[in-house]
Amino acid sequence: MQPHNVSFPVSRLRRLRQNAQIRSLISENTLQISDLIWPLFVCKGNNIKEKISTMEGVFRLSIDNLIIEAKEAISLGINCIALFPSIEQSLKSFDCEEAYNPNNLINTATKAVKDACPDLLIMLDVALDPYNITGHDGLFKDNEIINDETVKVLTLQALIQAESGADILGPSDMMDGRIKSIRSALESEGYHNKMIMSYSAKYASTLYAPFRDALSGKPNLKGDKKTYQMDPANTDEALRNVARDIQEGADMVIIKPGAPYLDVCYRIKENFGIPTFAYQVSGEYSMIMTSIQNGWLGHDEAILESLLCFKRAGCDGVLTYFAPMAAKALLK
Ligand code: PBG
C-alpha cells in the first residue's frame, strides 16, 4: 500500500503524469486487440448488409459478407467472433426446433466461417430467443418459462453447435442446471475441448433493446425476462451464480451488461480468479455511438476509454460491437 504520510511538496503526484512516456511506463492496465470479442449478426440470403436502425454502424450480414468480416477480424488481430442469427418469423415456434436444426442459419454460418478462417475462434449463443415465437430464452408454457425442459433443448442446441465447429459455447439463457447438462453432454460425445463461456451474471436489463431489434426487427417478446435474468439490484447473487457455474463446468464467465455492472466484474474476478469477460451490450454501444455521431464525444477516445475501464475492473476481455473500430484505433 502507498505510504500516506508523504506530504506536499515531497509528494507531487503530477510528477508521474507529466508526459506520455512516463504515463505509459507506469500505466496499470492496457487494452489489447487480443482482449476483444466481436459480436456479429447473421441473416439469410446473399450479398446482404442490412442496417440496424438502432445500432448505427452495425449490420445484419449474409454468410458471404460475414466471411469478409471474419477475414477483417483476423487482419486486425481479433481472435474471436460471436455470432447471432436473425431468424425469419416463419421458422420461429413455441418448441424452438429450429434451434437444434444442424442446417440452420447459425450452424451453416459457423461451418462456412470455419472453412474460410480455421484459426478464428467462433463463439455461439446458447439460448432459444432467436427461434422462439415468444422471444423468450426458454420454453414458455402456461405463462411460465419452464426450466428443466428448456435445459434439454439447450443441450441439444449446444451439441449441434459444437458439431458445426463452434469453439466456445455461450449459454446466455440463465436457466438453472444448463452448464452441468451441456458439459456432461459434451464430455460424453467426445467434445472434451469445447469451451463454455457462461453468461453467469446476466441481468434483466433494458440495455438489450437494440439487440432484440437487431435479431428480429420486430418485437416478439411477451412480458419480460425477470423470472430468469437477474435483478439489477443484486451482486451477492451474481457470485452464487458464478460459483455454481464453475462447479458445473464453465471455463470462463460473462457479466452482462458491462459498464453499469463493473462492480460485479470486480467482485467476480476478486472472488474466483476465473477468466472473466464483460459484454458491452447493444444499449451501451448505441448510447456511445449516438454521442459520437452527434459530435458530442470523440470517436476513438470514447471507444477506447469505455473498453479500458473493463480491464481496470478486472476483466480479461470484452465482447463489444466496437471491436473493429477499437482495433483500428489501437493500431494507430
Ligand atoms: C439472448 C441474448 C441477448 C443478448 C445476447 N444474447 C438479449 C436478451 O437476453 O434479451 C443481448 C446483447 C446485447 O444487447 O448486445 N439470449
Q: What is the CATH number of the domain that holds 85?
A: 3.20.20.70
By the 8 A CB rule, do 196 and 125 touch? no
- Lowest mean per-residue pLDDT among 176-190, 204-218, 287-301: 204-218
Residue 102's pLDDT is what?
98
Question: Quick check: 72 pLDDT over 80?
Answer: yes
Average pLDDT over residues 105-128: 98
- Phi first, then psi: what are they for 226, rounded to 5°? -70, -15
Average pLDDT over residues 84-105: 97
Q: Strands 144-145, 140-141: parallel, antiparallel or unpaired by DSSP?
A: antiparallel
Residue 215's pLDDT is what?
87
Residue with the smallest CA separation from ligand 1 atom 14 is 208
Question: Quick check: 219 pLDDT over 70?
Answer: no
Provide the domain count of the chain. Answer: 1
- The Cα 216–Cα 220 span in angstroms is 8
- Name the DSSP class of 319: E
Identify whether 130 is preceded by a cis peptide bond (ω within 30 of 0). no
Considering the chain, what is the average pLDDT of its residues? 96
Query: Which residues is 145 bridged to in the sheet?
Result: 140
Q: With a 6 A CB cut-off, is 124 part of the ligand 1 pocket?
A: no
Of 208, 221, 282, 320, which is best to mutate to test ligand 1, by the most ligand atoms within 8 angstroms of its C-beta?
208
By the 8 A CB rule, do 62 and 45 touch? yes
Of 256, 287, 288, 322, which is best to mutate to test ligand 1, by the most ligand atoms within 8 angstroms of its C-beta?
256
Range of the domain at 303: 32-331
Residue with the smallest CA separation from ligand 1 atom 3 is 208
Query: Which residues is 272 bridged to in the sheet?
Result: none
Residue with the smallest CA separation from ligand 1 atom 8 is 208
By the 8 A CB rule, do 284 and 259 touch? yes
- The Cα 174–Cα 150 span in angstroms is 10
Q: With a 6 A CB cut-off, is 284 part of the ligand 1 pocket?
A: no
**92 in catalytic set:** no
Distance from the first to the final alpha carbon of the chain: 35
For residue 157, the one-letter residue type is: Q
- The Cα 314–Cα 113 span in angstroms is 31
By the 8 A CB rule, do 252 and 198 touch? yes
Give a yes or no: residue 13 inside a domain: no
**Dist. CA 111 → ligand 1 center (Å):** 23
Question: Quick check: 105 pLDDT over 80?
Answer: yes
Ligand 1 atom nearest 321 alpha carbon: 15
Average pLDDT over residues 215-240: 90
Give a yes or no: residue 88 inside a domain: yes
Read off the C-alpha cell for 159: 451439441
Question: Quick check: 75 pLDDT over 80?
Answer: yes
Band of the pLDDT at 110, cuts 50, 70, 90? very high
Give a yes or no: residue 189 inside a domain: yes
Residue 3's pLDDT is what?
61
More confident residue, 214 or 106: 106
Residue with the smallest CA separation from ligand 1 atom 11 is 208
Ligand 1 atom nearest 283 alpha carbon: 14
Question: Quick check: 314 pLDDT over 80?
Answer: yes
Which listed residue (92, 111, 256, 269) is catalytic? 256
Question: Quick check: 78 pLDDT over 70?
Answer: yes
Of 106, 172, 306, which is best to mutate to test ligand 1, by the most ligand atoms within 8 angstroms of its C-beta?
172
Residue 220's pLDDT is what?
73
Give a yes or no: residue 126 inside a domain: yes
Residue 155's pLDDT is what?
98
Give a yes or no: residue 2 inside a domain: no
Residue 287's pLDDT is what?
98
Residue with the smallest CA separation from ligand 1 atom 7 is 208
pLDDT in tens, 34-54: 999 999 999 999 999 999 999
pLDDT in tens, 5-30: 889 999 999 999 999 999 999 999 99
Query: Which residues is 49 bridged to in the sheet?
Result: 61
Give a yes or no: residue 24 inside a domain: no
Q: How far is CA 153 from CA 98, 128, 251, in A?
A: 10, 8, 21
The residues near 13 (Cβ < 8 Å, ≥ 6 apart) are none
- The Cα 38–Cα 57 span in angstroms is 13
Band of the pLDDT at 221, cuts 50, 70, 90? confident
Give a yes or no: residue 20 inside a domain: no
Q: With a 6 A CB cut-off, is 245 part of the ligand 1 pocket?
A: no
Question: Quick check: 322 pLDDT over 90?
Answer: yes
Band of the pLDDT at 4, cuts 50, 70, 90? confident
Q: With a 6 A CB cut-off, is 318 part of the ligand 1 pocket?
A: no
More confident residue, 47 or 213: 47
Give a yes or no: residue 23 inside a domain: no
Question: Quick check: 1 pLDDT over 70?
Answer: no
**202 in catalytic set:** yes
**Dist. CA 27 → ligand 1 center (Å):** 33
Ligand 1 atom nearest 173 alpha carbon: 16
Residue 217's pLDDT is what?
62
